[in-house]
Amino acid sequence: MWRADAFLESMYNEAVEKTKDSQASMSAEERKRYLKQALRRLIGEFETNENHKPVLLEQESCDGYIRERIELSAVPGLSFASYILIPEDQGKPMPAAVAVHGHGYGSREIVGLRQDGSSDPEPPGIHQHFAVQLVRRGMVVIAPDVAGFGERRLAADLARNPEAANSCHRLSTQLLMHGKTLAGLRVAETLRALDYLAERPEVQPDRIGIMGFSGGGLISFLCAALDERIRAAVLAGYPNTFKDSIMAVQHCICNYIPGMLSHAELPEWIGLISPRSLYLESGTDDRIFPAAGFNLAVEQLRDTYRRAGAEERLRTDLFPGAHEISGRNSYDWLCSELERVAHA
């Protein structure tokens, strides 16, 4: 055959069978350790920056909370900004969350600002200003600028097109040439934001969650899988199977991590978060992370949590909507789960 359709399908089927054989040859804990080690290797590890001190860039009093902007660094030679939202009524340390945006104009899109940094009074877009929703529920929230978006687009891309949506392609391809991935860089920076958040005096470091939308859902699941300081995770507009999402629909290159499918399908990777609390939400009309794949992932993850004796810690919501955040239950769930952790 000249076309490779059947060839690709056979490769997928072989990968699934290989996964089943590996699962059968290991205990659940052995399998989890194996996948975590593989995950670190697949995304590529980065040298850490031990010398950079956080820099306060700005501070502003908002409606019920204080918004700061901090400069952080995770790897030598590269820094990034993060917004910190802190409830005004802070009598004692509070639970906290890392909020990770998806494709768009950066962290400003989730903290209630326009691309130029001015206040955004208009109805929110698909990100729903979700970092603001979380701080209004009594959580300290950090929203890091994800590499490749907004102010972190590459000069080379802006020179070609000042309106370039992002720099995902150039960042991804150049990092791949070094045996690393853009996902790995984004995870390193998000975990640095987590380090900083845990050190804040307003925060209870044993009550930290994460919430990410779309590409931010990818980053959030990777961080939660690798770092157990994250006690609860909300993945919105991302949970699915590889086959039904990034292998079926043309996605941004930043979603692809070489070799992941040779070890496991996406639901098993997400299952590395178990038995910690996990909330999955997706829209019925999401065209890039379709409902059918979401339902398959939910079915497999329910089995994972059931076998871990933690079925009650998995919650899901397939809501009427498209590729967007709902939050109709997930914001309150995250708040209540972090409260439950405090009394466990």
Summarised one tens digit per residue, pLDDT across range 197-225 is 999 999 999 999 999 999 999 999 999 99
So what's the pLDDT on residue 73?
98
Instruction: Give the pair of three-digit tokens for residue 73.
Output: 């660094």
Locus of tokens 């997706």: 282
pLDDT in tens, 179-198: 999 999 999 999 999 999 99
Q: What is the mean pLDDT of residues 71-84?
A: 98
Q: Which is more confident, 248 or 92? A: 248
223, amino acid identity: C
What is the C-alpha to C-alpha distance for residues 58 and 253, in angstroms, rounded to an integer? 33
For residue 275, whether the previous peptide bond is cis, meaning omega lies within 30 degrees of 0, is: yes
Instruction: Give the pair of three-digit tokens for residue 283.
Output: 């829209």
Is residue 72 within 8 A of residue 196, CB to CB? The reply is yes
φ, ψ of residue 165 in degrees (nearest 5): -65, -35
Q: Each residue of 305-330: b (16+ CB within 10 Å) or e? A: beebeeeebbebbbbebebbbbbeeb
So what's the pLDDT on residue 1?
67
So what's the pLDDT on residue 2?
86
343 pLDDT above the threshold of 70: no
What is the C-alpha to C-alpha distance for residues 218 and 151, in angstroms, rounded to an integer? 21
Locus of tokens 């687009």: 153
So what's the pLDDT on residue 314?
98
What is the C-alpha to C-alpha distance for residues 281 and 122, in angstroms, rounded to an integer? 24
15 pLDDT above the threshold of 80: yes
So what's the pLDDT on residue 128?
97
Is residue 233 within 8 A of residue 279, CB to CB? The reply is yes
Q: Which long-range contacts (CB under 8 A, 24 or more apart) does 87-94 make?
A: 87/135, 87/136, 87/138, 87/139, 87/140, 88/61, 88/64, 90/202, 93/201, 93/202, 93/203, 93/204, 94/138, 94/139, 94/140, 94/202, 94/203, 94/204, 94/207
pLDDT in tens, 98-149: 999 999 999 999 999 999 999 998 889 999 999 999 999 999 999 999 999 9
Q: What is the CATH number of domain 4-341?
A: 3.40.50.1820
- Distances in whole angstroms, Cα of residue 305 to Cα of each of 228, 252, 313: 16, 30, 8
Name the percent of the chain lying above pLDDT 90: 95
Inter-helix orientation angle 28-43/5-25, to 10°: 130
So what's the pLDDT on residue 342?
62
So what's the pLDDT on residue 337?
97
φ, ψ of residue 168 in degrees (nearest 5): -60, -40
270 pLDDT above the threshold of 70: yes
Q: Which long-range contacts (CB under 8 A, 24 or more apart) does 111-114 make?
A: 111/67, 111/83, 111/85, 111/143, 112/62
40 pLDDT above the threshold of 80: yes
